Amino acid sequence: MENLYETDYNRWLGQQRDLLAQGQFDQLDIPNLLEVMDSEMGDNTRELGFHILILLVHLLKYDYQKRVLQDPWVEDRVIYTWLPSINNPRREIERHMKKNPSLEPMVNDILAEVYPTAKRDAIKELNKHIRIENKRLHKDSFPDQCPWTFEQMTDDDWLPDD
């Protein structure tokens, strides 16, 4: 017997939906449905983590440029042109949390998990533009743990220099 789950996933999904709608529960492919549900739950957590990571990278870069570099040219011309890169992941996080409010208890763990990667990525991106060796960023350029709460980071009216 052909297993649509392995040969035509989309058709298999439609078939499972139809079986559910018709109340034919004994015909459902329970093992694969459970696998899909487990995968979907993990995907939701990973997607939230991805958006938190992107937001963190941009907040770290913004904070460093405002707090350490303190270059008026950077502040006037560069920082505010990429504020959308802070607001866009905020919108995605907000959308994702509305669809998946059960992820709320996990946000601090996700934040702690992705922060080291965000820190590394922010350092790497900022160092692309720093030509003087002793001015280059290193792992101690940012704190070991995220300096902001999830609530601060996702607040539209908040930026690290507030």
Residue with tokens 């409010």: 101
Q: How far apart are CA 24 and CA 79, in angstroms?
A: 58
Please name the helix (run of DSSP H) or strand (run of DSSP E) that holds residue 6, with its range, or none: helix 4-7
- Mean pLDDT score, 53-77: 81
What would the pLDDT profile of 140-159 be if each residue is shown by its tens digit?
Answer: 999 999 999 999 999 999 99
Residue 64 scores a pLDDT above 60: yes
Residue 73 scores a pLDDT above 70: no
Neighbours of 7 (CB within 10 A): 9
Contact 119, 138 (CB under 8 A): no
Confidence class for position 40, pLDDT limits 50, 70, 90? confident
What pLDDT score was predicted for residue 75? 63
Amino acid identity for residue 80 in this structure: Y
Residue 78 scores a pLDDT above 80: no
What pLDDT score was predicted for residue 1? 40
What pLDDT score was predicted for residue 91? 97
Contact 48, 93 (CB under 8 A): yes
Token pair listed for 29:
């492919």
What would the pLDDT profile of 11-36 be if each residue is shown by its tens digit?
Answer: 999 999 999 999 999 999 999 999 98
What would the pLDDT profile of 92-137 be if each residue is shown by its tens digit?
Answer: 999 999 999 999 999 999 999 999 999 999 999 988 877 777 778 8
Task: Give the pTM.
Answer: 0.79
* Closest to 143 (Cα-Cα) out of 115, 124, 121: 115
Helices 30-64 and 9-21, packing angle to 10 deg: 120
CA count, 13 A, side-chain hemisphere, 115? 18
Q: How far apart are CA 99 and CA 87, in angstroms?
A: 19
Residue 162 scores a pLDDT above 80: no
Residue with tokens 């979907």: 40
